[in-house]
Amino acid sequence: MAAVTTLYGREKEQRRLLQFLDRAAHGRPELVVVGGQTGIGKSRLLLDTAGHARRRGFTVHALGDADLHAPAPSRALRAALGAERPLFVIDDAGAKSAEALLSLVWEGRPASARPVPLLLARSANAAGPDLAAFPVWEDPRAEQAVPHTGLELEPLGEQAVRELVGGQLGVAPQPALLDVMACANGNPRLIVEFLEGLREEGRIGPDGDLVRLTPGRLPERVRAAVGGLLRDMSPESVQLLRVGTLLGRTFQLSQAVAMLNTSTAALLPALEETLAMGVLRLADDGITFEHPLLWRAVYEAIPAGLRGALLEEARVLALRSALPPQDLAVLGRGGAARRERPGPAGGGPASGGPAGTGGPGGRPGQPRA
């Protein structure tokens, strides 16, 4: 399967960043922070913008932690700061990295040099969709603060997903395959991993159709990728996700607190981590898994022996507990319906069947996965 070399569904963001380059070229630089969940395409958008910048005569400098936290700017970096048209780009930036970058620009820039445009992609574990985690960008030598804005990447829409899947396969995807792809909730990285996993297991036909779909069984490639994500998270966050997946795609924090025998205050760091990583999000009626795919993958990652005991506790606490549907197409269609339907994302039948079931036709606590 070909690597993703095209941006899909990001026309608005591309126009915004081209305007950013236009203003910088005319001596009106900005700080732009690109945010979004893990895998949403921040790095790919920065790469695209850097290519446009080079073609417009900018000298693009991609900085890393070693550059940002060095005791003093290197000679090459000082020269770059004084160049005619520099652009500094940093990917996966946390609040401390951004602060170090800004200090570096102000302290290392020659007095006669113009302000420098900065383009950052916020680290997935840097909390907040706005610039709250970053210091105000104000050059003490300037007459006024340099504008700074945030650019939050949303999940891909239906048409962009269809184009991405078609571009990866080389043929137009069939409706059943697109239903399954909806499990990834418009996340480009998850979509590509999901497609590659299905292809490796012979579950995509030559005409872009879905074949040999084992109900409720995610490709091993997806299971491994989600396992890696869980390994990067704190044990408390992993436990929160495990109990949450058994309480329903949308669940109450009080239910998780009861199952984990802890307090709300003690659980807040884990909640903040999962929210920042884009695994969970806050809804009007509780806490919900951002992606049906992750909801299902976390469920499958729970050891079978532990799962039974946890299910017994979940049934006591959650009157509308709903396990992930056994059929991945049903799971995907339920997730798509939640995205399209106005109002809060609930945990009712669209999220996995009637209360206490494992999907259509399943018995309580016994999904056919």
Q: What is the mean pLDDT of residues 277-289?
A: 89
In one letter, which amino acid is 202?
A: G
Given a cut of 50, whether residue 205 has pLDDT beyond it is yes
pLDDT more than 90, % of the chain: 36
pLDDT of res. 232: 85
Q: What is the mean pLDDT of residues 284-309?
A: 89
Q: How far is CA 249 from CA 152, 193, 293, 316, 325, in A?
A: 24, 22, 11, 17, 11
Q: What is the mean pLDDT of residues 229-247?
A: 91
- The three-state DSSP-derived secondary structure of 12-43 is HHHHHHHHHHHHHHCCCCCEEEEECCCCCCHH
Sort 5 into a burial class: Cβ within 10 Å, 0-12 / 13-18 / 19+.
Answer: exposed
B/e letters for 146-163, b = 16+ CB within 10 Å, e = fewer, are bebebbebebbeeebbbb
117 DSSP 8-state letter: -
Q: Lowest-confidence range among 109-123, 203-217, 230-244?
A: 109-123
Mean pLDDT, the chain, rounded, equals 78
pLDDT of res. 6: 81
Under 8 Å between Cβ of 354 and 348: no
Which among 138, 164, 151, 128 is positioned nearest to 32, based on CA atoms? Answer: 151
Given a cut of 90, whether residue 63 has pLDDT beyond it is no
What sections of 40-130 are H helices per DSSP? 42-55, 65-68, 75-81, 95-108
Stated pTM of the model: 0.79
- What does the pLDDT look like over 146-189, one tens digit per residue? 677 889 999 999 999 999 999 999 999 999 899 999 999 999 99
- What does the pLDDT look like over 72-125, one tens digit per residue? 666 667 677 777 788 989 888 776 666 677 677 666 666 656 677 889 888 766
Which residue has better confidence, 357 or 68?
68
Tell me the C-alpha distance between 12 and 35, whole Å: 15
Tell me the C-alpha distance between 351 and 345, whole Å: 9
Q: Lowest-confidence range among 114-123, 137-146, 359-368?
A: 359-368
Helix (H/G/I), strand (E/B), else coil: 104: helix
